[in-house]
Structures are given as structure tokens and as C-alpha cells.
Amino acid sequence: MNIKNYSILPGLLLSFAVAAVSKALALFFPEIGGATIAILLGILLGNTIFRQPVLAVGTKFSESRLLEYSVVLLGFTVTFQTISEIGLKGIIYVLLMMTITIIGAYLIGKKLGFSEKMGLMMAGGNAVCGSSAIGAIAPAIGAKDEEKGQVITLVNLLGTIMMLTLPFLGIALFGDDLLGKSALLGGTLQSVGQVVAGASLIDTATVKYAMLFKIMRIMLLVVVVFVFEQKVKQNTVASDSPVTKGKKLPVPWYVIGFLIACILNSFVPLPHILDTGAHFVSTWFETTALAAIGLRLDFKKFLKEGPRFLIYGVSVGVIQTISAVIFIFLLKI
């Protein structure tokens, strides 16, 4: 291992340690979840104790690379066949929800003065699968690390609030209607962990069916990344800005890896240990990456954008919730 490789160790080990502590705390606070604890603890420690420059290389590696690996491993946990269980109405519901969320988040971001790239990351993070989606979208559209960190923080905080409130809204509106409650949670909550945690506040059956709606959203990650990348490219050409050339793949390698893993998992009988192992490693990678993002996030800069970020998050959350309720009733899910 050369000197350059050794330089990632301090930040990488710190990120892993914060992730481990966060997962341990999540055992006592399961309603919050390890992912959210990791980013909040990272922000706390990164803005107080661990501000040393020597940590920067490792935390940057953890933030970018581990999220990419997590996206690939996520593909081994989903299949095409599973989607059939939610039916045609469920698929239409997911497509409508993703469309409304993407358009709404993008237009609100534009109205509030956020950059196009932040708007697209906010749209993808809320429409697809939170941090993993943002991790896939950010490099594809050339977003800055600081922008990615800010949006991931906002999406996770918004997801936590929705995770703790939507289960009770679902019970109040849909009562014993299992699919209705499941569609509300699985069609809106940002991360897989938040879907599981939120649905667990109701019952195990809701967890299963909410995850079916969530899986459908995750499987559309490749499409979302590709569309967003093409949109940014078109705008870059239209503004006569330099365009990066020589890219051989239409989408980042890890998004293609996700799709290949999903296809394999759908049509090839893979060992059960591969599915459980991929889920375990993917969760650790994502939590470690979130810890690193928190450690790298300058909270003072984030607070400077505070009011706008708060309005942005609340507005997107309201649009998602209202749209979900309307579509569930209209489609009679």
C-alpha cells in the first residue's frame, strides 16, 4: 500500500467508527434509524472535535466510493418478479408519485433560488431512494460534494420527520386497508430504512407491502439518473459551457452494476447468503458514507441557508404526502 492509500485510513476509520456507534444507538432508538443517527452524529463531531485536515482524504473516499458500492449491492436485494404483487394500479401509483415528486422538487428548488443540480438531487433523493439515489445522481450531473452533502442532510431530516408522522396519518385515513397504508409509506418515504422503520410502527404486513412499492421506485433509479444526466448535458451545451468528452458509458458504472445485479437476482437462482450478505454490506457502506458526509459538512454554511432549506424540505414533503393520499383514493389501491 503506497502513501496515498495510507492517507485514506484516518478518515475512513473515523467514518466507520461513527457508523458503528450509530448502529449501536439505533438499537435503542429504532424509530430514528442508524442512517439518520450517523449523519447527525457526523455533523456534531465534524463541527466540534474532528476538524483535522488529515481526515479529509478518508472521509471524501467514504462519502463518494462507499455510496457507489452501496448502490451496486442494492441491486442484489430486489427483483423484477416482486413488483407484480402490487398490481398495475400500484405501478401506476408509483410512476405518478415519482413524476409529481421530481417535477415538484425541481420547480420549488428553482423558485427558491437553488441550483439546477441541487434541485435534481433533491428530486431524485425524494422520488427514488434517498441517499443512494443522490449518491448515484451527484457524479452523473457533476454536482459538488458540498451540494451533495447538503441535499443528503435535508432529505434524511425530511425523511425522519415523515417516517414518524405518516404511519399515524395512514392509520387515520386508511384504517385496516393494508395496501392503502403500505402505498402511503412505500411511495413517499425516502430511504429503505425509513420505509421499514415507519411501516414497523404499524405492523409486519405493512412492512412487506410498503417495501414492494419501495422496490419499484428503486428499480427506476437507472432511468432517473440517465434522464437527469441528459438534461444537465443539454443545458450545458445550450449555455456554451465546456462539455466533458470521452465518457464511454451513458450512465455511471455503479448504476449499470445495480441494474445487472437486479437482473441476475430476478432471473438466476442466487444463493440466499448473497442476498443477505449484499444487504448487510450495502447497509454498512451507506451508513459509513452518511457518517462521512456528516463529518465533512460545515454546519455553519448549512445554517446560513437554513430558512430556504427548511422551506424547501417542508414543501416537498407536503407535496409528496398530499399527492400520495389523492392518488391512493383515486386509484382505489
> Does a structural domain hold residue 230?
yes
Q: What is the pLDDT of residue 303?
A: 67
How far, in Å, CA of 30 to CA of 197, rounded?
A: 7
pLDDT tens for each residue of 159-181: 878 988 999 999 999 999 999 99
Mean pLDDT of 307-318: 92
> Does a structural domain hold residue 193?
yes
Q: What is the pLDDT of residue 4?
A: 56
**Domain encompassing residue 110:** 70-145+156-289+301-331
> Does a structural domain hold residue 92?
yes
> Does a structural domain hold residue 1?
no
The answer to whether 170 and 180 are in contact (CB under 8 A) is yes
- pLDDT bucket at 10, cuts 50 / 70 / 90: very high
The total domain count for the chain is 1
> Does a structural domain hold residue 271?
yes
> Does a structural domain hold residue 108?
yes
8 three-class SS:
coil
pLDDT tens for each residue of 238-247: 555 444 444 4
> Does a structural domain hold residue 191?
yes
> Does a structural domain hold residue 37?
no
Residue whose grid cell is 409528496: 320
Query: Is it the case that residue 235 has pLDDT exceeding 70?
Result: yes
Task: Tell me what percent of the residues of the chain surpass a pLDDT of 70.
Answer: 91
Half-sphere exposure in the Cβ direction for 309 (13 Å, CA): 19
Say how many C-beta atoms besides its own lie within 10 A of residue 165's C-beta.
13
pTM of the model: 0.71
